[in-house]
A = this chain, B = another copy of it.
Amino acid sequence: MMSFYGLSAFPLTPADEQGRVDTDAFAMLLRRLVDAGVDSIGVLGSTGIYAYLSREERRRAVETAVNVTRGASPVVVGIGALRTDEAITLAKDAADAGANGVLLAPVSYTPLTDEEVFRHFAAVARATPLPLCIYHNPSTTRFIFSHDLIARLADEPGIVALKQPGGDAVSDDLSLLRSRLPPRFSIGFSGDWYAADALLAGADSWYSVAAGLFPHQARKLLQAAREGNAHEAARINAAFEPLWQLFRQQGSLRWMYAAAHHLGLIDSLPPLPLLPPSQQELPALVFALERLQAI
């Protein structure tokens, strides 16, 4: 259960043009997170390009994460797939590799009904010994979980956590969810620019893309919020704001690659057809990264 509390950092998964994971570069990114003391590492999240990697490469990525962390940070693994049998296979691979939890998003081509998503999640949860977190990410999956569906899923054995997208009413969303879900069910949020509000409102966890590269700064935000220091949380959030602006405009994935390049950490590009930001867009990123030094 400890896999789904506190700061969960989501690193990029560096890979070559054919989708082969660069395990050395990935290990380096992971080590930075362990050293910073994040509470868990979310490997193969959306910015960890799970959707673009083969089963074999996903297995290599999980093995790398388990080897690097050696229990210092729980490893939770994105196992989303179009087919139920595929998602079950990926859950088994994650357990075999020694991961601590799984994140399941309702990936689809033909849009799914609530009943289909329910049965998909229940089938995967039953097939794995690992605790499962509902990965609610409408910006990529285009599926919106109702509170009813989340409550129904929370009654299934093995489904113990929710990664909910942030929103302008994140505090209300959290209260409503708490009233519907079992007491020990973990409710966390993604959408980094909502994190300060979500954490101050008492969210159990922050599933953070930015923490994949900037774990120290993210931890400070988490800590300020945990201490109920709204002023300090707002100060840190303000320093993050130029980065949040970029994330809101174009999604976080392309910018995180550009940031990792700018910092000299990785050479890999996002998988084509995804393109990095253009040269003209880079000054905005450089400005955003400079602001992070104030944290």
CB of B140 within 8 A of CB of A109, answer yes
CB of B83 within 8 A of CB of A272, answer yes
Chain A 268-291, CB-CB to B under 8 Å as 1, else 0, gives 000111110000000000000000
CB of A119 closer than 8 Å to a CB of B: yes
CB of A205 closer than 8 Å to a CB of B: no
CB of A227 closer than 8 Å to a CB of B: no
Chain-B contact segment, one of A64-72, A95-103, A110-118, A154-162 = A110-118
CB of B109 within 8 A of CB of A51, answer yes
CB of A82 closer than 8 Å to a CB of B: yes
CB of A293 closer than 8 Å to a CB of B: no
Q: Which residues of B contact A83 (CB under 8 A)?
A: 19, 52, 271-273
CB of A31 closer than 8 Å to a CB of B: no
CB of A120 closer than 8 Å to a CB of B: yes
Instruction: Please classify how large the interface on chain A is, using the bins under 10, 10 to 19, 20 to 34, 35 or more.
Output: 20 to 34
Chain A 51-95, CB-CB to B under 8 Å as 1, else 0, gives 110000000000000000000000000000011110000000000
Interface of A is mostly: loop
CB of A84 within 8 A of CB of B273, answer yes
How far is the CB of A110 from the nearest CB of chain B, in Å? Answer: 5
How far is the CB of A253 from the nearest CB of chain B, in Å? Answer: 5
Determine the residue in chain B with the shortest Cβ distance to A137: B109
Q: Which residues of B contact A202 (CB under 8 A)?
A: none
Q: Which residues of B contact A46 (CB under 8 A)?
A: 109-110
- In the complex, A85 Cα to B112 Cα: how many Å? 27
Chain A residues with a Cβ under 8 A of chain B: 17-19, 46, 51-52, 82-85, 106-107, 109-113, 115-117, 119-120, 123, 139-140, 142, 250-251, 253, 271-275
Given contacts A109-B140, A110-B140, A116-B273, 13 further A-B contacts (CB under 8 A): A19-B85, A46-B110, A83-B272, A83-B273, A84-B272, A106-B273, A111-B139, A111-B251, A115-B275, A116-B274, A116-B275, A119-B272, A123-B272
